[in-house]
Structure 1
Amino acid sequence: MPLPTLPSKLGATLSADEIKQAPKATPPKSVLMPASPTLSTQSAQTAPKKVVSPAPASQATNPPTTPQPTAPKAVENTTAVASVANKKLFVLDTNVLLHDSNCLFKFEEHDVFIPMIVLEELDHQKKGLSEVARNARQVSRHLEALTAEHDITQGIALNSAGHIEARGQLFFQTTALNAKLPIHLPMGVADNAILHVVHALKQQHPDKHVVMVSKDINMRLKARALGIPTEDYKHDHVLDDSDLLYEGARELPEDFWQTHGNQMESWQQGGITFYKVQGPLCAELSVNEFVYSEQEPGLVAQVKQVTHHKAVLATIRDYSHSKNNVWGITARNREQNFALNLLMNPDCDFVSLLGQAGTGKTLLALASALTQTLETQLYNEIIITRATVPVGDEIGFLPGTEEEKMAPWMGALEDNLEVLHLGNNRLSALNNDANRNSTMDMIRAHIKIKSMSFMRGRTFQNKFLIIDEAQNLTPKQMKTLVTRAGPGTKIVCMGNIAQIDTPYLTEGSSGLTYVVDRFKGWPHAGHITLQRGERSRLADYANEAL
């Protein structure tokens, strides 16, 4: 009877049938003394051979047919050697620590090295109430926890403070590291000092793969010019290509009904028609994603449920018709109709809107907020905030209260309020100045403008929270804002990832991209990318030509 094959990979086990087929061999009576756990691998393999007791003559003539289980050990040793060979030593720039205070624990099995000049720069950045100062203080706390009971001159296990995902070691610069670079650089600059340290580490440890990690593009360019391996910190990158970002809507193929409508079920409930279809495309759909088909008979629907190769589609409300207007506003294109269906759905707690300037993001969000706050009274207040990142130079200190300081950043709010107020009262008798002013005062009484600097620790209940210019937020800032939501609160994030003004943020690492990707498929969240501008023909042409 042939023997069962050995496991092909580490950790593989034999099946029940293979165990039954294996011949039962009598184990030899020779006793192997267990190796001491303090011995090295080599000694553990050689020491037992010296203490093997001689086997009886009967067993010597009839050796067991089952081979000794040495193959898995060989596989394990080979895997361990390969893991050590692929291990890297990452030298962190200061901006990486200031960008993500938990970055020390994001390098898996690789080691981390921190130069002394980085600790010096962290000390200069720790004062203040900004996000950078907060991250600098948090990094210092992590380093203190790691070095509290360890010798700093030796490598410190990164998982010693409880971060089990980090399997590497942390090293500090404890001696002077000087190396002559191919190009002379002045030593008074912190970036140049870090480059000298990385170059010296490469010469001292030629067997290790030393890589410098920096968020500074110019720093990486200087490193490449000097022949130093360098990488960007990519742990917070959601996507490498913004074109792959989830759009929230897709066009169905022409043969959709031929391939998915053979066993279709349909029913009506509450004025909505539901379709239960099955086919290969269903597995690619996400809950609350919009689908449409321009082929006869035509379909515009929203995905309500996805299970394996089956999906439930539901028709949506047509907000392009004047009878379904929202605070006097109707949808002018397909994507705006999708956005209003998400904004007006009370079961959708989180909505994200992407689109270039003039696509109507702020107008649609504000119109739906006013309707659900003042008419249906689903929410008791509208809160608007945004990232205060200037496009040009700072204009200096702004006097006044919190709302007065935020007023210059809320010009878009005032513009849209004027459009909504005129559109809602255009056909009414409230067009005189007195009534118009009183109505605007009532609207403004339900709108609060808040700064993100004071959001930590707050809880919003039954609020309609609008986060404008969300592309300038980091993933950590976005998490801080979204977790402020209490019972009955709806959050709308809007922005254009092509207009990022925050340093070290890209389209792939923006907080807006982060939440779009993380909330995809959650039954109480929706996203739509607005495609066509509706501001004016001049604005549309400028977006294309400039």
Structure 2
Amino acid sequence: MDQYFVTDTNIYLLDALEAIYSFAPKRNDIRNFLIIPYVVLEEIDSFKKEQHSSRGLNAHLFSRELKKISQTKKQKLSKGVEISKNYYVKVEYDYNDSLEKKLLRQYHGKENDNIILSIANTIKERNKGEVELVTNDSNLFIKAESIGLNASDWRAAKSIEKYRDIYKGWREITVEDKIIDYFISSKQAMPLEELNIESLIPNEYLILKSSNYKINSFKEGELNNRDFVLVSYKKRIIGLKNGGYIKVPYLAGKKSNILGINSRNIQQSLALNALLRRDIRLVNLIGPAGTGKTILSVATGLYQLRTNNSRKKNNIYETLVIGRPNISMGPELGYLPGNIKEKMEPWMNPIFDNITGTMKEELVKKIHNSPTKRKALSELKSGEMEDYLLDNEFIEIQPLQHIRGRSRENVYMIIDEAQNLDPLEVKTIITRIGDNSKIILTGDPQQIDKKGLNELTNGLCFASERMKLEEITATIFLKDGERSKLATLGSKLL
């Protein structure tokens, strides 16, 4: 059986090499054909001028790889080249233009899209095999289905099949009272089989509940002593043959307090635990607006900075590095007037807005012992406080286009709004992290502004799903809005 995958430009701009090789057949009795419409080559060329973007990088990688395939095999791509057993790559020029003319009458503009559809339809008419259009463009997807073509997102870029299947990093389980009593009275880990749970993931948190005990009593201002959260640790730490679970000590009976920031629900407590644990190097905080992703990340980052006045056990990182994909990864940042702080101020205000009130007061205490210096620092206005933190290198703003090629050691890095990164951009950032560093990715996959990405293909979900089995990573899905009742309702209903 033959299968034809007619591809759109956008899948190669996400990850060119992965896209070229991801359609190989899984069975020996199937032949797969990767069809690259000639207009895709033309569109790819237009992105090569983006020297500092992942799209520009992928455009160059795509062209080089096709050239390499043709030269290595000494065959023309227009005729089709077998690059592995039963897997062919072909650049297609031939199509029946009658459909294209019809599409031009129905859909004005987007001529290249119409040519891609016409090529796919021509292959379908001339061959007995299955034909599928592969695109991450929603409109092209709909147009394909409207003319009877099968269409799909690029599967290799999809970290999950449905958003509701997103890995949350925690789960609630109902147990007998004696299990909770066991954890109250014992500091020992419990063998996995005692909890009757399968397929647990490293650093996945378990919220135990029983019919007699409430899970959450934050509304009364304190965690109930019967509210217990367990975390799956590395097997070698627990020392149990089949793995096990152990109580998270400071989540039982009290709230966490970091630079005056308190956890307001149980998921926020889990997030603080992951953000403070030194054995975890990557934390993914996922959830709607107003759930506390940014403020928790900023508070724990500042809390763990090295200062002359900080306690040794919290004296871990030299600098809090902050980046956002909204800050251009292309050359246009250079056109804006002012120094780097002035250029980036509009994008960084959501970060610095969190360093106010109690957090600012506690941060001042962390930085200085001297009452005089504390008083002077606490009297700084908002913009002046930002300047102080930047000038003294407590905080560094990181333009993401400058991160490639660097190795960042001894830093606590926050990438806010990471849902607007593609998988290659996330890979580029994570692979820059050096020794004794930690990276936090935060974002809401249902608020994506970048063309070509969606709640299934964005870099945040990609990193969470691809890295979740590693013992140095953790993911926490924050479900409850805490900013205000209006903000929570707006996130759900609008």
Normalising by the smaller structure, the TM-score range is: 0.7 to 0.9
Corresponding residue SS for 1:113: strand
1:98 maps to 2:13: yes
Matches within 5 A, 1:352-391: 352-373=284-305, 374=307, 375=310, 376-388=314-326
Equivalent in 118, 121, 137 of residue 199 of structure 1:
121
Give the 3 Å change call, closer, same or farther, for CA 410–167 of structure 1 in structure 2: farther
> Which residue of 2 is the match for residue 163 of structure 1?
none
Give the 3 Å change call, closer, same or farther, for CA 203–283 of structure 1 in structure 2: closer
Corresponding residue SS for 1:484: coil
Corresponding residue SS for 2:439: strand
Judge conservation of contact 2:364–2:377 (CA < 8 Å) in 1.
no
1:131 maps to 2:69: no
Please give the alpha-carbon distance, in whole angstroms, between the structure 1 residues aligned to 2:70 and 2:378: 67
CA-to-aligned-CA distance 1:445-469 (integer Å, 9 cap, x gap): 2100011111111001110111100
Give the 3 Å change call, closer, same or farther, for CA 209–256 of structure 1 in structure 2: farther
Give how far 1:209 is off: 2.2
Judge conservation of contact 1:355–1:495 (CA < 8 Å) in 2.
yes
Q: Mean alpha-carbon deviation: is it higher for 304-313 or for 523-532?
A: 304-313
> Which residue of 2 is the match for residue 505 of structure 1?
453
Higher CA-based Rg:
1
- TM-score, with structure 1 as normaliser: 0.73
Judge conservation of contact 2:327–2:344 (CA < 8 Å) in 1.
no
Please give the alpha-carbon distance, in whole angstroms, between the structure 2 residues aligned to 1:182 and 1:482: 43
CA-to-aligned-CA distance 1:456-503 (integer Å, 9 cap, x gap): 110011101111001111111111101111110011111111111111
What letter corresponds to residue 485 of structure 1 in structure 2? I
Judge conservation of contact 1:329–1:423 (CA < 8 Å) in 2.
no
Corresponding residue SS for 1:403: helix
Please give the alpha-carbon distance, in whole angstroms, between the structure 2 residues aligned to 1:283 and 1:131: 39
Structure 1 gaps of 5+ residues are 1-84, 160-165
Count of equivalent residues: 443
> Which residue of 1 is the match for residue 170 of structure 2?
249
> Which residue of 2 is the match for residue 56 of structure 1?
none
Give the 3 Å change call, closer, same or farther, for CA 327–502 of structure 1 in structure 2: same
1:89 maps to 2:4: yes
> Which residue of 2 is the match for residue 448 of structure 1?
396
> Which residue of 2 is the match for residue 290 of structure 1?
205
Matches within 5 A, 1:453-472: 453-472=401-420
> Which residue of 2 is the match for residue 150 of structure 1?
75
Give how far 1:300 is off: 2.3
Judge conservation of contact 2:77–2:89 (CA < 8 Å) in 1.
no
> Which residue of 1 is the match for residue 351 of structure 2?
413
Please give the alpha-carbon distance, in whole angstroms, between the structure 2 residues aligned to 1:313 and 1:321: 17
Judge conservation of contact 1:304–1:314 (CA < 8 Å) in 2.
no
What letter corresponds to residue 155 of structure 1 in structure 2? G
Give how far 1:275 is off: 3.5
1:173 maps to 2:81: no
Give how far 1:423 is off: 5.7
Give how far 1:221 is off: 2.0
Give how far 1:105 is off: 0.8
> Which residue of 2 is the match for residue 82 of structure 1?
none
Structure with bigger RCO (C-alpha 8 Å, 6+ apart): 2
1:301 maps to 2:230: yes
What letter corresponds to residue 348 of structure 2 in structure 1? M
Judge conservation of contact 1:288–1:302 (CA < 8 Å) in 2.
yes
Matches within 5 A, 1:178-327: 178-181=96-99, 184-186=102-104, 189-205=111-127, 207-255=128-176, 257=178, 268=187, 274-279=189-194, 281-295=196-210, 296=213, 298-305=227-234, 311-318=244-251, 321=254, 325-327=257-259
Please give the alpha-carbon distance, in whole angstroms, between the structure 2 residues aligned to 1:320 and 1:468: 31
Please give the alpha-carbon distance, in whole angstroms, between the structure 2 residues aligned to 1:256 and 1:156: 64
CA-to-aligned-CA distance 1:483-540 (integer Å, 9 cap, x gap): 1111100111111111111112111111111111122242222221122222223323
Matches within 5 A, 1:63-82: none
Give the 3 Å change call, closer, same or farther, for CA 372–255 of structure 1 in structure 2: same
> Which residue of 1 is the match for residue 379 of structure 2?
436
Judge conservation of contact 1:343–1:368 (CA < 8 Å) in 2.
yes
- TM-score, with structure 2 as normaliser: 0.81
Give how far 1:358 is off: 1.5
What letter corresponds to residue 268 of structure 2 in structure 1? Q
Judge conservation of contact 2:361–2:378 (CA < 8 Å) in 1.
no
Please give the alpha-carbon distance, in whole angstroms, between the structure 1 residues aligned to 2:134 and 2:378: 61
Structure with bigger helix share is: 2
Corresponding residue SS for 2:481: coil
Give the 3 Å change call, closer, same or farther, for CA 405–170 of structure 1 in structure 2: same
Please give the alpha-carbon distance, in whole angstroms, between the structure 2 residues aligned to 1:527 and 1:349: 11
Please give the alpha-carbon distance, in whole angstroms, between the structure 1 residues aligned to 2:479 and 2:151: 37
CA RMSD, 1 decimal: 3.2
Please give the alpha-carbon distance, in whole angstroms, between the structure 2 residues aligned to 1:201 and 1:151: 19
Equivalent in 398, 408, 411 of residue 336 of structure 2:
398
Judge conservation of contact 2:418–2:442 (CA < 8 Å) in 1.
yes
Q: Mean alpha-carbon deviation: is it higher for 346-355 or for 290-299?
A: 290-299
Q: Mean alpha-carbon deviation: is it higher for 483-492 or for 432-441?
A: 432-441
CA-to-aligned-CA distance 1:372-405 (integer Å, 9 cap, x gap): 1032321111100011179xxx999422233332
Give how far 1:135 is off: 1.3
Please give the alpha-carbon distance, in whole angstroms, between the structure 2 residues aligned to 1:91 and 1:471: 27
What letter corresponds to residue 398 of structure 1 in structure 2? L
Judge conservation of contact 2:191–2:242 (CA < 8 Å) in 1.
no
Judge conservation of contact 2:159–2:466 (CA < 8 Å) in 1.
no
